[in-house]
Chain A
């Protein structure tokens, strides 16, 4: 614990407020989007999260989804303007209810997890610290630890789920076709793009891409190491930018968070960016 404390003592608050606004904006967007989507899709077949213990079917009907969204929005707004220590915690609970009511078909999307994990950090900071600087220092330390942990766990999941053969380029062929069928359902048509065609023609190209992506996720465990942060963040951003043209998955909220964390590692003085 002492080692962690010594490490934590060196954390700087730079960028914390921008990170907070980014997370709050995305969470407000999620709340509205899920509330609107719940009504037509409200079929609780595979309950997740709290819905496994509490019957949330009621909250999928009528005005309930919008009411929960309202609670989430109020919590976020009060939290960001420092009104009420528990505001962010209330927003986390409301967003959890909206998420489990929205996604109950057995497959859970992960576009919101990283951003909302940082919202949990904001909630903890608001309850635990009264001084603004302390809050911000905690939030930045928390963000680097849990963003790194999230990507690192993704790497571990792949190792556990498949083994060391995970980056085999043939696996990417299967996923490209899967995403192609998604595109077919969504838009009514699909033809592979140039880049997808390249990967479908070359197992080696696919293997290289998957290997670089997987390596980036493993390295993310080192995100708490301050001098490595900038290259790791850039590598993770490149991972998302590379995934998009191949599989059509943007993970825009994650990219925004990574972008803000990159900015937090750079200080602008007299117009010239310097590494922190």
Chain B
């Protein structure tokens, strides 16, 4: 059956090619996996786009967010300086950040990461909030913390951090 020989050869060639392709494919998959592990391991699990996806991994831990309120001119600044508020009793009226094109997560993360309000940090905060800073507007930035209390109930408390006006930034004690 000489006419079958080319077919057989072609089939063998095809098999060899497929197996060569498969080996190469396997090597590349393993290679990318090694690079993935090699990049995320020394970078706390994050080297975009590779990630160990740690979001929501620490359940039950406290969190810190931010709320921005427009406060009354007559009571500024002292009455807001040292109190802690519940979410239902926040002073002033809410300032929605999204309609002004501000990513609320940026502000929340920035405030959460700021321990010392240096002039540079204050300037950065003003830059983040620029779209909502207006003449005669007083913006109170509150750090909102959530955690379980002793009875495992959710306790949310907001503490005033910074007061921002069109002309100055006041760090609250």
A interface residues (Cβ-Cβ under 8 A, vs B): 1-2, 4-9, 11, 37, 40-41, 43, 45-46, 48-49, 52, 92, 95-96, 99-100, 105-110, 112-117, 119-121, 124, 128-129, 134, 137-138, 141-142, 145-146, 149-151, 153-154, 156-158, 160-162, 165-166, 168, 170-171, 173-175, 177-178, 180-182, 184-189
Contact = CB atoms under 8 A, between A and B. Distances in A.
B65 interface: yes
A99 B127 CA distance: 20
Interface in B4-43: 18-19, 21-30, 32-33, 36, 43
Contacts of B134: none
A8 B109 contact: no
Contacts of B33: 145, 149
Contacts of A124: 28, 32
B119 interface: no
A185 B48 contact: no
B59 A168 contact: yes
Contacts of B52: 153-154, 156-157
Interface of B: 18-19, 21-30, 32-33, 36, 43, 45-60, 63, 65-68, 87, 93-99, 101-110, 112-113, 124, 127-128, 130-131, 144, 146-148, 152, 154, 156
Given A134-B21, A171-B60, A178 B65 contact: yes
B50 A40 contact: no
Contacts of B107: 185
Contacts of B113: 45-46, 105-106
Given A160-B57, A185-B67, A112 B46 contact: no
Given A105-B109, A174-B63, A188-B93, 19 more contacts: A99-B48, A100-B48, A105-B113, A108-B46, A109-B105, A110-B53, A151-B53, A153-B53, A154-B54, A157-B57, A160-B57, A162-B58, A166-B59, A181-B67, A184-B87, A186-B96, A187-B96, A187-B98, A188-B96
A175 B98 CA distance: 20
A49 B18 CA distance: 37
A188 B29 contact: no
Given A41-B106, A184-B87, A158 B29 contact: no
